[in-house]
Every structure is written in structure tokens, then in C-alpha cells.
């Protein structure tokens, strides 16, 4: 049977991709529009079964567009479901008064999205009338409970088809979907159309080379958060520094080790997830607290980190200090792994520069302990060591180190790496801060600044449960304890 058609009108590339992925899993046909004006034109042309309308759109806003739909007899019966970061009762009334049949709050809850959409679809003979929870989905997709997990989409860019084929083979399996481009211009076109989660980009290509592609993507606010890994035969420190200065997030040399490639990809996808969560929170809060700084300004705030150097070589320490003075507020130095862990626990450390061989605990164990504790988990750990073998490098990355540099380190490459990790630390700190503020707001009464009724009730239930368990334990010991002791004596 013919699929039902959903028109999505959304100007945010991340939200558009997420909604599109959910609708594909639900088995719907999708039409995309990035502005209200474009959406109205597509509505009259295709007459979809339902419209998902973002409220905050450039130019004509979503509610104005909904009113225009309601005033057109030919399309006024198409249900409009609003996508909004607003959650107040007054906002709900505005949405319904404009003609929407309901709304879905951002950030989207992937567990309930399809059920909510299905409840607002008009009756039809399509097979999608059945309970969405019983619908068949792609067997390759993993399903845990009700929550849906997605494959990350990787764009592979190389002018040599054989190299593309080799990289696709390394990424085969259930974790990634791969798309390909054979030139810089084709890469730019694919990014606009497909919006990948990560790009593997060759540098030496005819026409627009990898450096220029990176600069173009990183200047565009819609694509600058897509991680880019330069994959190339170029091997000099100068080339690495140029790549990082252009905006690349990583640099891998050919031939590529599969394990290292996958480790780097997962690390960058985690960072992208943090960025997307932070962006979604900012969008949700913008209705209540107008932001005085743009996303780009927030990224470039003058942040001076505190850096811990754990290294036994005085010469290497002097090199690191010399190149860090322009970036950091404070530098702490130790040659002991145990002291490094204690300092990270007690001080506000942002970045750790860590050698593997230390006086009392090797760098691998230091990194493992730092990534295990809540207080130190988000510290950026950069391993800088003379141990150049791949096995040690992979082990460090698997234990949680955020980067791995081989001594002697090129100054340009080192500074580019530090800039990148300062930015990452800023993202993580902002996300943690917003989470804490949101949690505090959720459990606190705004008028009295005391814990609200819901949190008090939850806390009281926990305490009563613990008290009940203690009473039962005391009763059991007092009643059955003597019998158990007698039984043990008789048995002996």
C-alpha cells in the first residue's frame, strides 16, 4: 500500500535529520521544507497527510503559516502538528488557537514521537493504522525496549574510488551508514543534502582540495559542528598543523589502522552529541531567557584553562610550558602518577598532559582513574610520550585519553591541538552547568527556594523505604538471631 506522506517544515538541520530518521523508521514518505514560504508551496503541490511545523522559522513563522493553511479551503483539513521548544500553558493555547491539532516538545522524545504523530493522523486505509509499536522496522536497526537507536552516517570523500571502497569496508556493519563523494565539490553538495554525522576527507584532490572544503564547512553555521577527519598520505607536522588550523578535528595517515579509525570516529561522535545536546538546550531556553551572545561568540569566549603536566622529563616540561603560556591561566607540574590523580581530584583541572612512564604509576592507569571518577571524567587528557608503537596508542585511546601525541611534538601541531581541546572543554562545562541548573530548577519551588512537593514526596518515599528495611532487618535479627546461633552450636 502507498505510504502516508509527512511534510516537515524545520530550519534546524539537526532537528530535520532526527525527525527524518524517525519518520523513515515509521515507514512514512517525507517531504522537507526549510522555510514557511517553501512549505506552503509544497503543501499545495503534494497535499500531505500531516504537517510537522516548526514554530520558530526565519521570515514567516510557523503559527502565521498555520493560519494561512486554515484560511485555504483546499488544504485546511490537513492536520498541522507543531514542533516547539515552548512548554508553558499559554504557549499551548497559542499553538492550538492558530489551528494546530497539537504539539511535540523539543528536545524530541524518540520513544513517544511516532505514537504522538500517529494519534494525529487522519483515518486512512494505509497499513500504518496499526499500533506503531507493532510496525516492522529495518532489521539492521537495534531496538532496546521502546527507544530507537540510529546508525551514524559517515561521508567518505576521496578522488580515488579504491580508497573509498577500502574505507567503506572498514566501516561495514550495523553501526554506520556510509555515503561517498569523489571530489571536493561533490562533498559540499552531499553535505547539504545528506547532513552526515562525520566526514572522512582526503586532502589532495583536484579542484577544491580537502583544506578548502574544511574551511567552507567550518564557516557555515549549519555544518561547522560536523566532525571532519583528514585521511591522507601527507605525514609532516606542518601538514597536520595546517589541517587542524583549517578546522579539521582529526588527522589520520594512510594506510589506516581499522582499530584506530573506529576509536577516533567514536570519540568525535561523542563530542558531536555533547554539542547537539547543548544546542538543543539553548534553543529550549531562548524563549524564556533571551541569549545575548551567538553560538559562535559562545565558542570563542576567552577561556583560560588550568593545565596539569605529568611528566618526568625537565626538558619536555619546559617545552610544554613555553608553548602553553599564551593559552592557560595556570600550570601545575608533577612527575608522579599518584599525585596527578590527587591534584585532579582536589583542583579545578581542565586539561592533563600525560606521559606514559611516570615515577610511581603509569599514564594508562592515571587516565583510567581520571575517566572513572565523576569529578574528573570531563578533564581532557592528552597523552604526550616517546612510546610510538600503535599498540600503546590504541590502548591509551581505549582507556579514555582524548588525544595521543608522539615526542618530539611540533609546536604548530601542539598549539592547534590545545585550541581544539579548550573548545571541547568549554562545550562540556557548559553542558554540565546547564544540566545542573535544569535539575535544580526541576526540584525547587521558585517562590520559596525550597524543595518542591514532588521532590519532597520522592525523597520521603525513599527514606521511608530505607526505614522500613532497617525495621524489618532489626526484627529478623531479634527474633531469629538466637535460633540461628543455637542451631550453629548444636551442629558443631
DSSP per-residue string spanning 411-422: HHHHHHHHHHHH
How far from the centroid of its chain's Cα atoms is residue 32's Cα? 23
Domain count of the chain? 4
Return the residue matching grid coordinates 549549519: 222
| Same domain assignment for residues 254 and 342 | no
Beta strand 143-144 with 147-148 is antiparallel
- Strand, coil or helix: 82: strand
Has residue 147 been placed in a domain?
no
End-of-domain residue from the set 254, 285, 316: 285
Are residues 71 and 26 part of one domain?
yes
Residue of 44, 18, 24, 20 lying closest to 32 (CA atoms): 20
Among 285, 312, 344, the domain-final residue is: 285
**295 in a structural domain:** no
Q: What is the residue whose three cell numbers read 599498540?
A: 391
- pLDDT for 199 equals 95
Residues 269 and 279 occupy one common structural domain: yes
Q: Are strands 250-253 and 330-334 parallel, antiparallel or unpaired?
A: unpaired
Q: 6: phi > 0 → left, psi -120 to 50 → alpha, else beta; which?
A: beta
- Domain of 83, CATH number, reads 3.40.50.2300
Measure CA of the first residue to CA of the last residue in the chain; give whole Å: 77
Domain assignment present for 143 = no
Range of the domain at 93: 5-138
Question: Residue 398 has what pLDDT?
Answer: 73
CB contact at 8 A, 178 and 156: yes
Residue 432 domain flag? yes
Q: Please give the pLDDT value at position 355.
A: 92
Last residue of a domain, one of 260, 285, 310: 285
pLDDT at position 131 is 37
Question: Based on the domain organization, do 332 and 281 belong to the same domain?
Answer: no
53 vs 67: CA distance, rounded Å: 12
Residues 230 and 316 placed together within one structural domain of the fold: no
pLDDT at position 481 is 57
Nearest-angstrom CA–CA distance, 257 and 270: 20
Strand partners, 331: 307
Same domain, 432 and 354: yes
Helix, strand, coil shares, percent, the chain, to 5? 50, 15, 35
Nearest-angstrom CA–CA distance, 218 and 221: 7
Q: Distance (Å, rounded) from C-alpha 254 to C-alpha 400?
A: 24
Cα 221 from chain centroid (whole Å): 16
**Predicted structure pTM score:** 0.54
Q: Does 429 share its domain with 465?
A: no
Query: Which pLDDT score is estimated for 184?
Result: 94
Residues 482 and 419 in one domain: no
For residue 389, the SS3 value is coil
10-residue stretch averages of pLDDT, the chain, 492 residues long: 82 81 83 89 88 86 88 87 69 80 78 80 53 38 41 90 89 81 94 90 90 92 88 74 81 80 81 68 52 48 84 91 87 94 93 90 90 87 77 74 81 79 78 69 74 73 72 64 50 46
Specify whether 327 is located in the same domain as 439.
Answer: yes
Domain assignment of residue 297, yes or no: no
Find the helix or strand (DSSP H, E) in which 196 lies.
Answer: none
Mark whether 174 and 53 lie in a shared domain.
Answer: no
**Residue 145 placed within a domain:** no
**Residue 294 domain-assigned?**
no
Q: Are residues 433 and 459 in the same domain?
A: no
Do the domain assignments include residue 364?
A: yes
pLDDT confidence of residue 122 = 78
| 343 and 267 belong to one structural domain | no
Amino acid at each position: 500500500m502507498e505510504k502516508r506522506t509527512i511534510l516537515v517544515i524545520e530550519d534546524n538541520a539537526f532537528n530535520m535529520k532526527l525527525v527524518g530518521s524517525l519518520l523513515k523508521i515509521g515507514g512514512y514518505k517525507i517531504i522537507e521544507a526549510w522555510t514557511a514560504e517553501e512549505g506552503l508551496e509544497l503543501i499545495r503541490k503534494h497535499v500531505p497527510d500531516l504537517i510537522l511545523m516548526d514554530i520558530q522559522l526565519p521570515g514567516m513563522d510557523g503559527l502565521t503559516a498555520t493560519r494561512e493553511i486554515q484560511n485555504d479551503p483546499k488544504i485546511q483539513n490537513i492536520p498541522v502538528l507543531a514542533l516547539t521548544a515552548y512548554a508553558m500553558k499559554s504557549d499551548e493555547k497559542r499553538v492550538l488557537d492558530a489551528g494546530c491539532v497539537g504539539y511535540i516538545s523539543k528536545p524530541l522524545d524518540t520513544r513517544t514521537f511516532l505514537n504522538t504523530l500517529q494519534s494525529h493522523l487522519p483515518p486512512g486505509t494505509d497499513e500504518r493504522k496499526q499500533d506503531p509499536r507493532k510496525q516492522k522496522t529495518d532489521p539492521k536497526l537495534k531496538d532496546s525496549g521502546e527507544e530507537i537507536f540510529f546508525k551514524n552516517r559517515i561521508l567518505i570523500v576521496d578522488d580515488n574510488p579504491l580508497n573509498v571502497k577500502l574505507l567503506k569496508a572498514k566501516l561495514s556493519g550495523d553501526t554506520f551508514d556510509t555515503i561517498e563523494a569523489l571530489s571536493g565539490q561533490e562533498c559540499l553538495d552531499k553535505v547539504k543534502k545528506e547532513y552526515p554525522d562525520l566526514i572522512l576527507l582526503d586532502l589532495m584532490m583536484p579542484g577544491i582540495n580537502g583544506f578548502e572544503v574544511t574551511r567552507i564547512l567550518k564557516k557555515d553555521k549549519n555544518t561547522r559542528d560536523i566532525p571532519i577527519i583528514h585521511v591522507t598520505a601527507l605525514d609532516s607536522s606542518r601538514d597536520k598543523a595546517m589541517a587542524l588550523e583549517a578546522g579539521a578535528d582529526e588527522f589520520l595517515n594512510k594506510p589506516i589502522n581499522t582499530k584506530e579509525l573506529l576509536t577516533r570516529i567514536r570519540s568525535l561522535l561523542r563530542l558531536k552529541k555533547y554539542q547537539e545536546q547543548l544546542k538543543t538546550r539553548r534553543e529550549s531556553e531562548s524563549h524564556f531567557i533571551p541569549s545575548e551572545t551567538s553560538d559562535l561568540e559562545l565558542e570563542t569566549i576567552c577561556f583560560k584553562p588550568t593545565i596539569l603536566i605529568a611528566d618526568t622529563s625537565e626538558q619536555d616540561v619546559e617545552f610544554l610550558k613555553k608553548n602553553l603560556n599564551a593559552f592557560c591561566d595556570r600550570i601545575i607540574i608533577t612527575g608522579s602518577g599518584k599525585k596527578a590523580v590527587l591534584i585532579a581530584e582536589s583542583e579545578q583541572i581542565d586539561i592533563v598532559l600525560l606521559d606514559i612512564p611516570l615515577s610511581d604509576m603509569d599514564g594508562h592507569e592515571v587516565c583510567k582513574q581520571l575517566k572513572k571518577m565523576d569529578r574528573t571524567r570531563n578533564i581532557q587528557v592528552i597523552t604526550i610520550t616517546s612510546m610510538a608503537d600503535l599498540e600503546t596508542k590504541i590502548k591509551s585511546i581505549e582507556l579514555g585519553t582524548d588525544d595521543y601525541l608522539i615526542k618530539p611534538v611540533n609546536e604548530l601541531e601542539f598549539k592547534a591541538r590545545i585550541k581544539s581541546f579548550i573548545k571541547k572543554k568549554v562545550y562540556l562545562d557548559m553542558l554540565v552547568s546547564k544540566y545542573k541548573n535544569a535539575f535544580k530548577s526541576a526540584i525547587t519551588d521558585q517562590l520559596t527556594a525550597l524543595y518542591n512537593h514532588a521532590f519532597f514526596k520522592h525523597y520521603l518515599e525513599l527514606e521511608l523505604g530505607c526505614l522500613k528495611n532497617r525495621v524489618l532487618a532489626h526484627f529478623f535479627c531479634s527474633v531469629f538471631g538466637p535460633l540461628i546461633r543455637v542451631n550453629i552450636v548444636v551442629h558443631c
